[in-house]
Structure 1
Amino acid sequence: MNRILITGGAGFIGANFVHYWLNQYPQDEVTVLDALTYAGNMQNLASLADHPRFHFVKASINNQELVEYLLREHKIDTLVHFAAESHVDRSITGPDAFLETNIMGTHALLKAARNVWLADPAKPLPHRFHHVSTDEVYGTLAPHDPAFTETTPYAPNSPYSASKAASDHLVRAYFETYGLQVSTSNCSNNYGFYHFPEKLIPLCLTNILDNKALPIYGDGLQIRDWLYVEDHCRGIDLVIKQGRVGETYNIGGVNEWTNIDIVNLLCELVDQRFATQPHLAKQFPHAPAANGQSSKSLITYVTDRAGHDRRYAVATDKIKAELGYEPCETFATGIEKTIDWYLNNEAWWRAVQDGSYQQDK
């Protein structure tokens, strides 16, 4: 049995990982530490409120003293670190929060882990510190460049990716300098349930249903590799259980799309659902498809954002060869599940849109 601390477990990927882990390992104890900033949502974990092996603590990862207390009190042997400021646009307008959380927060966790797990260097407690990072630390790719590998030099182009790059280096340093048992995974763009509706896929889905513009940066030809969030969770599980200590593993969907093609596909799939499910027109009367129009009519090109990377893609050869990892979901199956989840969970994303999800914070 593991006793696991998950930082940022009320956020998009973190919450999915909490559900995944408790389903896979029902005997494990799971503690979530989350400050419940704008991206943290307790509704993501509402079904676990009475779970006997689930604990939630509202606090910042920068609170080193509290983290040390949790590691000792709950006898934590595995820490999975999701907590991060992650939206690139927000990092451009307000970078300070990204440095505070992504760099200083990660360092606070590392210090706490070292103080508890390596208190007696001669008899270290069994442990694993897993750090969840991003493909954006590698910079940008030209359309025909080979995908990023784990040895690609870092070249971050936004305050967000720079802060994540710094945190990656800190994790490595604590392994090399102090012997902390760490691993890192760098993932591509995730999509799926509980995705905060300021990111491309959920933003476009909810905007279609409300007859709002679908903003496309620049020419819309930016390319991203898309990874279904549960496949990401499985990859992290493999790295924690079987990955080599001190190593980095890229986790990707091997599924590259341009932004404009993603938006066009979303429009087509939503329109198909309205055509075959008449109740949707009553549920979402303002949607173009409810009024005989194409959702593509909402596509609007806007000025590109500063420092916008052209393409991300990660090679998954290492995690496949060493750990046997491959995504279970194709993009066709994953995007269908995602669309249906948003259609069936209107109350969740309405609460995010109007801010009422923050009333319990």
Structure 2
Amino acid sequence: MAPEFTARFVQSLDKVDAAAWDACANPPTLSDEEGERFNPFVAHAFLSALERSGSVGPRTGWSPVHVLVEQGERLVACAPAYLKTHSLGEYVFDQSWAQAYERAGGAYYPKVQVAAPFTPVTGRRLLVATDAPEGARGALIAALRGLRKAAQASSIHVTYPTQAEAEALRDSGFTLRAGEQFHFLNEGYASFDDFLNALSSRKRKSVKRERREALGEDISIERLAGADIKAHHWDAFFAFYMDTGARKWGRPYLSRAFFDLIGAAMADRILLVMAKQDANYVAGAINFLGDDAIYGRNWGALIERPFLHFEVCYYQAIDYAIRHGYKRVEAGAQGEHKLARGYRPVVTWSAHDFADPGFHAAISDYCRRECVAVGEMIAEQEAALPFRKNEQEETT
């Protein structure tokens, strides 16, 4: 007999038992195909901190409406979902789709967004317990479509799912869109110098020069984790974040309270890299730690210094990953300049489902052609990576 599932929507994670959510979001045993063994951005603590701090909510255009699928009283599947009234903070840009939809006489917003807000990190989005009955994921996808209908939304957008989830969504009628990021892959390096020796001579010298110039004679680096991160560190980092965010986006997404909440709830999953000039902190970057990966998220600085961004965000993360055995570093969206610094191009996915069949068909055609272009671009970038082409290349 097929299991009976029920679906419901909640507007706050405070209404969901944290252990039940996390049993779906970060189950203890996952295959590589199913996603990261622990992804901090779908954890109850992270998503709840966004809500409790006011970083998401109706006033921000991110209204939580999380989807829960239950068998009896047990939560077997869920998805972090939001009703969006704009397309900001997603890193999969669909503003041109919205304009086309509205020119045709439709209302693109609200839309259903299944995502870790403000976080361009691939991870599980269809959160299904590993021992859930067969059909739970299908019930979750059906519930998302039910939410779209109930909210009179134009569409569903699942951003940065795993490849396995993307394929499941495609099989359910979603159209897939390819994107690109740049990740450092730890090839078993013994040290940062070992990594440098894998680069071509010219690039190796360039990285060494950048690191020297970033720090000069007056800047030192502190790496802080867990209980070592104090309130004054968050105060300093938030000042960097606000300054850079205001210049880059116009309005930074995260509130000061978010960092207090996340620091208290997930201290062992945070690495704060801080740059100090004399006695003052002048720049910093926050990284979140999975079981296999380091995720560089936000950065800011109060001074202009050549290459300081690369040192604080990229080279420090690479060094930490090598020292602590992490498989990769994900340094956020975009940025082809990462290629020259040892990061490799990787494909990312999003999945989209429109209520209007004609518009869905048009977007599907666009995404198919875009996917070909992304594949060609990644192939060209792979051919131009800064690594040594053969073992005989000089390594000094």
TM-score in terms of structure 1 length: 0.28
Q: Higher strand fraction: Structure 1 or Structure 2?
A: 2
Q: Name which structure has the greater RCO, CA cutoff 8 Å, separation 6+.
A: 2
Q: Higher helix fraction: Structure 1 or Structure 2?
A: 1
Look at both structures and tell me which one has the larger radius of gyration over its CA atoms.
2
